Structure 1
Amino acid sequence: MFVDRLMLNTVMIITSHNKLKNYLETDLKNSISLGFVPTMGALHDGHITLMQEAISQCDFLVVSIFVNPTQFDNKSDLQKYPRNITQDVEFIKQHIDPKKLVVYAPETDDVYGNNPIAKKYGYDGLEQVMEGANRLGHFDGVGTILEFLFTIIKPDKAFFGEKDFQQLQIVKKLVEKLKLDIEIVGCPIKREAHGLAMSSRNERLTTDGRNKAALIYETLQKAAVYFKDHSIYKTQKFVEETFLNYPEFNLEYFTIASEETLKPVKRKYKNHLYRGFIVVHLEGVRLIDNIALPH
């Protein structure tokens, strides 16, 4: 466990939200622009891409590393989630100037006290489909931790990857609902060489499984081409039938939805933005991805 404002190889780590707030309000000049990248650790190149984009747009960066218990509906998933703060901070140092950032890595009680319970939020229906329908309470947990972090850090901009596209739209809605003066910046999906969307969960796959998982993005790309000349129903059947040929994969869902509302759609309309969302299980690991569809 790290003590407050510990310097680990010149990277400042703060474990108390009160100390973090004091540092941001007193040690940093008010005139600087502040970027924020929230993470749950197990960092990979996708996270670094977000941090690099934040540094390119802002003068200083706060990175949070916190495995948030209230956004897990599966206790086993929470327990299995990888945690290695030393490795994460070393990884950050290899890519980001330590003088331009601070890491906030709290324990659960610093965030929730003795009561790790999520608040209830309404996101105008964005939370009721796809991940929200399949992981009850997940986005309440996301909103709870982000409201806490946004209130403490008060960033000018916060950066999120489009891999969790539904979450990105919900975060934008959260900021709108709370009337926060924060710009939410969506960043393109960072992929492994064979196309698998980078995720901390990928570390739980075997080497063979990781290679096989390339099928997910390959199928999304083919579906995007197929979508140009076929209906939504036929495109969905195309994806479902593809995965039937690979019994090691368990397709939880493939949904074509409106980018704006996230609601599943049945018919195509001109000049409307659609996106295909997929969740697949492989080797007991739940993998998500999405792709913009032609319009």
Structure 2
Amino acid sequence: MKIVRTVADLQKHVEAAKQAGKQVGFVPTMGALHKGHLSLVKQAVEATDYVVASVFVNPNQFNNSKDLESYPRNLDRDAEMLQSANCELLFSPDVKEVYPEEDTRQFNFGDLESVMEGRFRPGHFNGVAQVVSRLFDMVKPQKAFFGLKDFQQLAIIRAMVKQLNLSVEIIPCEIIREEDGLAMSSRNTLLNVNQRKNAPLIAHTLFESCKFAPELRINELKSKVVTQINQSDELEVEYFEIVDGNTLQAIDNWSDSDYIVGCIAVFAGEVRLIDNVTYKNTDHEY
């Protein structure tokens, strides 16, 4: 696996791969890699011929400076993990390489960004759109792979691709979990022992709620989930919304949509964890 730090070197290798007739897959990350990231890389390896991964902690998507400072970083370990997953090129730029000038673009994603993460993290998705669009322009992949754990982010990126008329196919990838159910996240490494012990309650509660989805009203189920998680002294729900999986708008009844997803954000101390569960889609219900 080659490691490059400049756009010029990146594009030299990518262009050579394309000239050789290879289809380019791309996995953008902020590093601190885990098995969830590697599952994206492995899917990219299976679906394309030449896989590029990026490691870049994007300052523009952090609305909390402490969160940016505490975000875990370990490039050497990340590189080893990517090589083990048969990634062919790692792009690890510094901030000036990605933003030689300040990116002042303002995206408008309408209702997609006014709820859930967008409501509690103002400016976050504009920063995501800025960096992902820049990376897409640098790499110019045919396919890009994103995890479904960041459910709202996936919707935003799809909307951005449509707005900018980019020729890249967005491939959603399933949530990868620890053995105890906790959704894999780079932030999990920041949990103390008691927080880590209690964190699986988030996933367990979401999975259990699927059993009650047909029986309880939406508001009743939301209340049940929040109450159960908040019973832990280590956890506090920031939001739990049951939404249409396409529009991300809250629904009032189970009959309001053919695609229903429950999205949650929970604080374990100062560590913020997100997860989601699908209650209903056109192929499978509850």
* Alignment TM-score > 0.5, same fold: yes
Taking the aligned partners of 1:104 and 1:176, their CA distance within structure 2 comes to: 25
Paired residue type of 1:47: H
More displaced, 51-60 or 202-211? 202-211
Contact residue 252 and residue 281 of structure 1 kept, 8 A: yes
Structure 1, unmatched stretches of 5+, are 1-10
| Aligned: 1:45 with 2:35 | yes
Report the equivalent of 2:116: 130
Distance change (3 Å), C-alpha of 1:118 and 1:86 = farther
Paired residues for 1:1-295 under 5 Å: 11-26=1-16, 28-94=18-84, 96-97=85-86, 101-113=88-100, 115=102, 117-269=103-255, 272-294=258-280, 295=285
Equivalents in 2 of 1:45, 1:243: separation in Å? 25
Distance 1:56 1:26, change over 3 A: closer
Cα-to-partner distance string for 1:31-81 (whole Å, 9 max, x where unaligned) = 211100000000000000000000000001010000000000000000001
One-letter amino acid of the structure 1 residue matched with residue 150 of structure 2: D
Q: SS of the counterpart of 1:252?
A: strand
The amino acid that maps onto 1:237 is: S
- Give 4+ residue runs of structure 1 displaced > 3 Å after superposition: none
- Aligned length, in residue pairs: 281
Provide the identity percentage: 38
**CA distance in 2: counterparts of 1:140 and 1:270, whole angstroms:** 29
Counterpart Cα distance in 2 of 1:176 and 1:28: 24
**By how many angstroms is 1:114 displaced?**
5.0
CA root-mean-square deviation: 1.4
Per the TM alignment, residue 193 of structure 1 is displaced from its structure 2 partner at its CA by 0.3
The Cα of 1:194 is off from its aligned counterpart by: 0.3
Q: Is the 8 A contact 1:118 1:141 kept in 2?
A: no
Tell me, yes or no, if the aligned pair for 1:118 and 1:140 is still in contact at 8 Å: no
Q: What amino acid is aligned across from residue 239 of structure 2 in structure 1?
A: Y
Instruction: State the alpha-carbon separation in 2 of the partners of residues 278 and 291 from structure 1.
Output: 9
Corresponding letter in the other structure for 1:112 = Y
Q: CA deviation at 1:271?
A: 5.7
Structure 2 runs not aligned, ≥5 long: none
Q: Secondary structure at the match of 2:255?
A: coil
SS at match of 2:150: helix
Contact 2:218 2:242 in 1 (8 A): yes
Q: Report the secondary structure of 1:269's partner residue.
A: helix
What's the CA shift for 1:287? 0.3
2:189 & 2:179 partners in 1: Cα distance?
A: 15
Post-superposition Cα deviations, 1:100-134, rounded to whole Å, max 9, x if no partner, equal 5100000000011253x452111242111100111
TM-score (norm. length: structure 1):
0.92
Between the aligned partners of 2:246 and 2:271, the Cα distance in structure 1 is: 28
Q: Given the two structures, how large is their TM-score scaled by the length of structure 2?
A: 0.94
Q: Which amino acid aligns with 1:20?
A: L
